[in-house]
């Protein structure tokens, strides 16, 4: 369950990490095209980020593999999302990643898989996460720096 933080708490939270709420909102408005969408995105992102930062919880990552046994569970990566809906929104990027891999081989099929993991409170690097959100808010990513997320499962991504 996501706890709803008010705007004051959101502003205070991001100010602690050197960011300005209004600048973040303006960047989102530039990307999403209107103020209402920008407010919704910033509100969703900051609420989700604060909830994970204080309480931990499930996070998601998409990877392309020829089969799920290729997954290296001791190196799950740093870039994650807080909601699987981010994958649906960015499906075009996922397909591009699939076909533009450096090791792409036309004779070998790669498939997108979703990894689900648990992150501990405060394992999220908030400064890097907000910086990434400021640059690419449509991706809704967070950055895990301080620990390895606890692997939960992997399954084929189906859009």
Residue by residue, pLDDT tens for the chain (159 residues) are: 455 678 888 888 888 888 888 899 999 999 999 999 999 999 999 999 999 999 999 999 988 888 899 998 888 889 999 988 887 766 555 555 555 656 555 556 778 889 999 999 889 999 999 999 999 998 899 999 866 788 899 998 876
* 37 belongs to a structural domain: yes
What's the pLDDT at 73? Answer: 87
Helical axes 35-55 vs 126-135, angle rounded to 10°: 160
Supply the DSSP string of 13-59, one letter for each residue: HHHHTT--HHHHHHHHHHHHSSHHHHHHHHHHHHHHHHHHHHH-EEE
* 42 belongs to a structural domain: yes
What's the pLDDT at 46? Answer: 93
Which pTM value belongs to this model? 0.83
What's the pLDDT at 1? Answer: 46
* 1 belongs to a structural domain: no
- CA separation, residue 139 to residues 8, 103, 106, 143 (Å): 24, 24, 28, 12
Rounded Cα distance, 154 and 64, in Å: 11
Question: 144 has which bridge partners?
Answer: 124
DSSP 5: P
* 87 belongs to a structural domain: yes
Residue 40's domain spans which residues? 7-156
What's the pLDDT at 143? Answer: 95
* 99 belongs to a structural domain: yes
Sheet holding 79-81, edge to edge: 141-143, 79-81, 57-65, 111-119, 150-156
Q: Distance between alpha carbon 2 and the CA centroid of its chain, in Å?
A: 16
* 19 belongs to a structural domain: yes
* 33 belongs to a structural domain: yes
> How many separate domains does the chain show?
1
* 101 belongs to a structural domain: yes
């Amino acid at each position: 369950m996501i706890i709803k933080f008010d705007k004051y708490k959101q502003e205070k939270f991001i100010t602690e990490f050197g960011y300005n709420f209004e600048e973040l909102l303006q960047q989102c408005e530039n990307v999403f095209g209107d103020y209402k969408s920008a407010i919704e995105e910033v509100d969703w992102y900051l609420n989700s980020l604060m909830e994970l930062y204080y309480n931990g919880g499930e996070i998601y990552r998409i990877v392309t593999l020829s089969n799920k046994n290729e997954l290296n569970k001791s190196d799950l990566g740093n870039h994650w999302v807080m909601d699987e809906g981010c994958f649906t929104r960015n499906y075009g990027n996922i397909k591009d990643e699939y076909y533009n891999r450096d090791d792409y081989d036309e004779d070998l099929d790669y498939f997108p898989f979703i990894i689900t993991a648990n992150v501990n409170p405060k394992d999220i690097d908030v400064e890097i996460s907000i910086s990434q959100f400021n640059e690419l808010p449509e991706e809704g990513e967070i950055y895990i720096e301080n620990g390895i997320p606890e692997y939960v499962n992997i399954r084929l991504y189906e859009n």
